[in-house]
């Protein structure tokens, strides 16, 4: 049965019960990027030599591990000993970095920088381009 909160104090108590100690606080980054063909600005297909699958396969060669739905590669994870985090294929074809839980903003900046360097180097070799756009 669901517990009903009777007043403001019980709401505060309920929320406080889920707190973590400050030494366990972490920051996680999410960074989405849309891939396209720079020659005609069309979205990347999944398959093909310049497709999304080629990018995901390239990231696997950089130490990421593939996650599959049947034979379709849909996500990547990085082992914890290499920093953790994941890259997922989103419904619009964009790639999303879901960063590892890190202690400070400097670590998240380094993580995103490393990820973007990997993606952009591969993109050049595959004839792809990426743009990170959106709002929160």
Map out the domains of the chain as residue ranges.
48-130
Helices 105-126 & 52-60 angle (0-180, nearest 10): 120
Cα–Cα distance measured from residue 54 to residue 126, given in angstroms and rounded to the nearest whole number: 8
pLDDT, tens only, 2-48? 677 789 998 899 899 999 999 999 999 999 999 999 999 999 999 99
Classify residue 57 as exposed, middle or buried by CB count within 10 Å of its CB (0-12, 13-18, 19+): middle
% residues pLDDT > 90 (the chain): 82
Tell me, what's the pLDDT at 1?
A: 42
Name residue, tokens 């497709």. 51
The structure tokens listed for 124 are 């050049």
pTM for this entry: 0.83
Q: How many Å apart are CA 117 and CA 133, to the nearest integer?
A: 17
Tokens read off for 118? 């990997």
Give me the phi and psi of 131, to 5 degrees please. Answer: -135, 135
pLDDT tens digits for range 62-117: 999 999 999 999 999 999 888 899 999 999 899 999 999 999 999 999 999 999 99
Q: What is the pLDDT of residue 81?
A: 87
Contact 115, 106 (CB under 8 A): no
């Amino acid at each position: 049965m669901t517990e009903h909160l009777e007043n403001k104090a019980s709401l505060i108590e309920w929320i406080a019960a889920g707190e973590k100690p400050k030494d366990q606080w972490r920051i996680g980054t999410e960074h989405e990027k849309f891939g396209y063909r720079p020659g005609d600005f069309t979205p990347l297909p999944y398959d093909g030599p310049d497709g999304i699958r080629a990018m995901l396969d390239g990231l696997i060669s950089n130490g990421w591990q593939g996650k599959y739905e049947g034979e379709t590669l849909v996500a990547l994870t990085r082992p914890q000993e290499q920093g953790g985090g994941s890259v997922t294929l989103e419904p619009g074809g964009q790639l999303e970095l879901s960063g590892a839980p890190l202690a400070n903003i400097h670590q998240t900046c380094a993580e995103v920088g490393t990820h973007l360097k990997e993606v952009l180097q591969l993109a050049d070799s595959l004839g792809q381009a990426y743009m990170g756009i959106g709002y929160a």
